[in-house]
A and B are shown apart, each in its own frame.
Chain A
Amino acid sequence: MNAIEVKDLRKEFKAYSSRTGLKGAFRDLLTRNYKIVPAVNDISFSVKQGEMVGYIGENGAGKSTTIKMLTGILTPTSGKIVVNGMNPHKEREKFVRTIGVVFGQRSQLWWDIAVQESFRLLKKVYKVSDAHYNDHMDHVIKTLDIEPLLDKPVRKLSLGQRMRCELAAALIHNPPLLFLDEPTIGLDVLVKLKIREFLKEINEKYNTTILLTTHDLSDIEALCERVIMLDEGKIIYDGALKSLKDQWGDRKELQFQFLENVNIEGLNQLTAEMSVKWEMDEKEQLFTAVIEDIDELISQVISKVVAAYKIKDVKINETSTEEIIRNIYEKGLV
């Protein structure tokens, strides 16, 4: 059974625009201008039980809107959603028992009271038995290392501490499906690593399906085999992260720094018969040759350049995922 099944999902919002000036403001009191903007534009995809999927896109691409529809908070304008075999919006109370959600930018813990009181309430809300709670949560608390934080009020926790508690709170009922909306936003590297480790572990242990949105692609690289890429409400890529890399990461970058003054025309002339694209960073006097990933070609370029100029530093870079994705967004490669 698929954990998530989405077909032709669409969500439209009314976008109001204000008229200019005082006269416009008075006219706005009576009638307002608006456009209908689709935030999510007829998307379809499905996620299998136990998959970890990265859901990425620029700000305003429609990621959060999709998550809110999948969790039953927003009603879709049209389309079909089946999550855990249910319609999220129709059977909300029954449905939300089967999911866990972490919104990186909002807390689901009570601000003024100790963390463990929030846990206690959630335990009652989800009707988790004592035995089950102790067995499961002891482990979660230990792995996330939040034992010493439990008796502190949430407002006294740092962001990283709070985030770990949020994650634990979302897992109290051990849901088979976990939605994470920017869970690592603003966290330091150590906390990020800890959270990633933990997510991997519960995925292996309980076969938990995880849908993750993030701006930090290293999260996706560390966790997800599959990515769904969204742009202006449409899916522009859905598939394995690896094939994305194979397909678009077939270039290498050679970075040169020279000891003498070099201009880009000279370099272009030097490698005229090879397909090399030179780029220059004026500020740091950094020259970059973008070439196809063929071993022979790389050594040819290097030997030519080294023979012609005195060099200070050479670096060979593979195209990073970040760059691939930037390319896709900028040039619409998919």
Chain B
Amino acid sequence: MDKYLEMIRIRFLMMLAYRTNYYTGILIYSINIGAYYFLWTAIYGGKHHMVGLSVIQMTTYVAVSWMARAFYFNNIDREMAMEIMEGKVAVELIKPYNYLGMKTMQGLGEGIFRLLFFSVPGLIIVSLLFPVKFTWNPTVWGLFGISILLSFFINTQLNLLTGITTFFFFNNSGLIRAKRVIIDLFSGLLLPISFFPGWAQNVMKYLPFQGISYIPSMIFTNGFSHQQAMNAIWQQFMWVVVLVLPIQLLWYIAKKQLIIQGG
């Protein structure tokens, strides 16, 4: 376990080594939240409620889902693709640790870093600028905490899955980009799932994506009843378990037919 904690620390150091990335990140997220805030106020156009969400809830939803994104989002799929394409994965395989586990920990280190130095100050700034409403109910915070941790795992598992496919396709930057757009759209980051047409909502019930952004944001904005929230977290948990299977399977096959590129 020690080594995994150490990896989180290393990732912190790496994030600190690239401070410019950090500052531009804050800027980009603020612009995004601002843009969605103005878009949604225009869409509401004076109406108080839409599909069960008030304007204030909507603004909070947007702010929280972007801040949660800072935590669950990571680029380990792209990193894995690079490592595999350049043959660096060879060096990882001669270390006595689980490569995928180590990658997950790197993602977690990055996530915790952003949560502390990015989301928290970001949320304070946002709450000063826009009319967002935070709850002080500790149960909601607790459920939200569990929920974003699970969304981190779901998102990271999908990243690992995309990353491993590099072993088979050798260049999968297109797939990585497509995956990112799909997650942003279907996870409810851009549009809450309840705004989708009924048939699409039915389809998405059977997909893991809403567990990434929609569920934690709805929990935080009190868009879910307590029972709904518990069910949603249970659903997230099930996805985390289910996704282990294809990852292990693909990893097993990939290791078998591994070719290290570049000598």
Contact = CB atoms under 8 A, between A and B. Distances in A.
A126 interface: yes
B182 interface: no
Q: Which of B6, B7, B257 has the most CB of A within 10 A?
A: B6
Contacts of B18: 112
A5 interface: no
Interface in A165-205: none
A97 interface: yes
Contacts of B13: 112-114, 117
A107 B86 CA distance: 12
B2 A73 contact: no
B96 A68 contact: no
Interface string A111-147: 0111001101100111100000000000000000000
A241 interface: no
B184 to A, nearest CB: 28
A2 B88 CA distance: 30
B258 interface: yes
Interface stretch (A49-57, A88-96, A275-283, A310-318): A88-96
B107 to A, nearest CB: 16
Interface in B80-118: 87-88, 90-91, 93-98
A75 interface: yes
A126 B96 contact: yes
Nearest to B263: A64
B242 interface: no
Interface string B238-249: 000000000000
Contacts of A103: 90-91
A97 B255 CA distance: 19
B14 A73 contact: no
Contact of B14 (A13, A94, A110): A110
Given A13-B259, A112-B17, A120 B6 contact: yes
A153 interface: yes
Interface string A262-285: 000000000000000000000000
Contact of A71 (B2, B88, B94, B263): B94
Contact of B93 (A72, A94, A117, A126): A72
A321 interface: no
Contact of A96 (B6, B94, B255): B94
B91 A107 contact: yes
A125 B3 contact: yes
A107 B95 CA distance: 13
B93 A113 contact: no
Contact of B96 (A75, A93, A113, A121): A93
Interface band, chain A: 20 to 34
Contacts of A106: 87-88, 90-91
A57 B218 CA distance: 63
Nearest to A92: B93
Given A64-B263, A75-B255, A120-B6, A112 B14 contact: yes
Contacts of B90: 68, 73, 103, 106
A124 B93 contact: no
B10 A110 contact: yes
Contacts of A74: 258-260
B260 A125 contact: no
B10 A108 contact: no
Given A103-B90, A106-B91, A108-B91, A68 B260 contact: yes
A64 B90 CA distance: 11
A178 to B, nearest CB: 12
B256 interface: yes
Interface of B: 2-3, 6-7, 10, 13-14, 17-18, 87-88, 90-91, 93-98, 255-260, 262-263
Interface of A: 13, 64, 68, 71-75, 92-94, 96-97, 99, 101, 103, 105-108, 110, 112-114, 117-118, 120-121, 124-127, 153
Give the 4 A-B residue pairs with the shortest CB-CB distance, closest first: A124-B6, A112-B17, A124-B3, A108-B91
Given A93-B96, A114-B13, 13 more contacts: A72-B94, A73-B258, A74-B259, A96-B95, A99-B94, A103-B91, A105-B263, A106-B87, A113-B13, A113-B17, A121-B3, A124-B2, A125-B97
23 contacts: A13-B259, A64-B263, A68-B260, A71-B94, A72-B93, A72-B94, A74-B258, A74-B260, A75-B255, A75-B257, A93-B97, A94-B96, A106-B90, A108-B91, A113-B14, A114-B13, A118-B10, A120-B6, A121-B7, A124-B6, A125-B6, A126-B96, A153-B17
